[in-house]
Structure 1
Amino acid sequence: MSELAKLETEARNPATFDLDRLEPLALVEALHRENYKVAEAVEPLLPHIAQLVEVVAQRLTNGGRLFYVGAGTSGRLGVLDASECHPTFGVPQEMVQGIIAGGPKALTTPVEGAEDDREAGAAEIRARGIGPKDVVVGIAASGRTPFVIGALEAAQASGAVTAAVVNVREAVMSRYAQFTLAAITGPEALTGSTRLKAGTAQKMILNLITTGAMVRMGKAYQNLMVDLKATNTKLRDRAIRIVVEASGTDREQAERALEACDWECKTAIVMLRSRVDAATARARLQAAGGRVREALGE
């Protein structure tokens, strides 16, 4: 038996042996029953995820960056989570980055052999000048993808904090990671198709890491995303609603305040709640490290 065949993610699922014989409703019910196991697999990891969240928040606050590294589905999930941080939390695009084996082309088209190139993973880390301020999170359902191992090994050598998001026990990647987040989702409904339960668990974990870190950095007030970039009609409407909720004013006042401060939700909230102008509100926010609660003296 090959080493890959021994992995939990490669085993056959006895609950879905007759998958190809099921009618549409029974088929999707069988697939969905397996989804219930995903959150249960992530739950035991929460204390470890919380530790990593605090490390990421500290590094990013001090000028560091967060990198996700993966191949195939894992790489695409990393790029997805990274790309959403800029519009959601208003951080610079370079602060959170996704690296996928095979480069941008691999987001839509498989790049044969890219995941097996360990040196290419290391080269990606060196090319970005990753160092002690940074955090590198490798993602691989199998826990043994060479491209990701090469990246983690190079990141570890550079002094960066390293983490592994995997779906198997005793992952090879753990040797190169200070944090191992192993969500054991078990055999897939469709044997070996780790874009299913394993991929869903990975997305949940990445969402927890970035959302948790950004909230710790003051990118939320209450449960409102007060650093979003209002770059289109939908997001401008959301910005108005955020300011209305946080300040207790009406839409007209909220929109006027946002227009006066270049659509900065935080600034508008402090302006309205403290009855000050935009410059004073920005100064208070700067003194409070960008945290709305502290700027309001709450």
Structure 2
Amino acid sequence: MPEQRPASGIPASRAPLDPATLADQFRRLIDGLPADFVRPADTTDPVWVVYQESQPLGTVSALRTEEATTWRIQASGERMHALDDTVRALRRPRTWSRDRAQASDWARRTLADPRTVLIDLETTGLTTPYAVQIAAIDAYGRTIIDTLVQPQEPIEDGAIAVHGVTMEMVREAPIYAAILPRLADALTGRHCVAYNSAFDRECLARETARATAAGHPQASALWQSLTWADAMEPYAAWRGLWHAGRGTYRAQPLGGTHRAASDCFTLLERMNAMADGPAWQLGPQGT
């Protein structure tokens, strides 16, 4: 790293990120790999050159408004909510343009498939969960199904804190077996796209097993007719925030409200952006 101004201190990675408090030189540990920030000697503006192992990655600057501070990569104009994410963007592999193009192509092809539905489940918890809410929309944003479900199991407090669905809200809701005719009409033969689809698939598989054991063979027939895709990995590639410690793109939060229908519409927004928009648009808060 070349000599610039003397460092007045090296904050820890979790130091506050008010640009006015940051030193002329400082270091942050980002995904297990240090990044060094050096303000050019000819300015007092909130601008730093980022170095990794003495090699310059690029220049970042802070943009402050009354509402928030965002961080801008000078060369590309990309803006991020978090300073660390600018470094993740600067660390992208050379294959990112191709990876991003493949993610965009996946989104276009998926949205053009008439079988595609975007699906989301809210559940009783994270461990062996059952559904408390199921929603699905098509690629045009038309609601196919949106229903509360009586899970026949208690809802964990932690889950309620996330999605807000209480036992009182589902007390009179139909059980999964009772909504099977509606689900079959809405979903049979569909290509289900979810965000972190393994979780939704596992929950539906558990509901299918319980309904089948209770004498509802329609549940198994519906399950076997479905195909699945996960939007999380292509969206991570499209956003392009590289996790140097893991050697992969960093998974991004969806940014929804954690209510099933709302999260479906949020996912549709993300996929439309992937299909049509620039990858460096400002992502959801916290990404």
Same fold (TM over 0.5): no
Bigger proportion of residues as helix = 1
Q: Output the TM-score relative to the length of structure 1.
A: 0.32
User: Which of the pair has more CA radius of gyration?
Assistant: 2
Bigger proportion of residues as strand = 2
Q: Output the TM-score relative to the length of structure 2.
A: 0.33
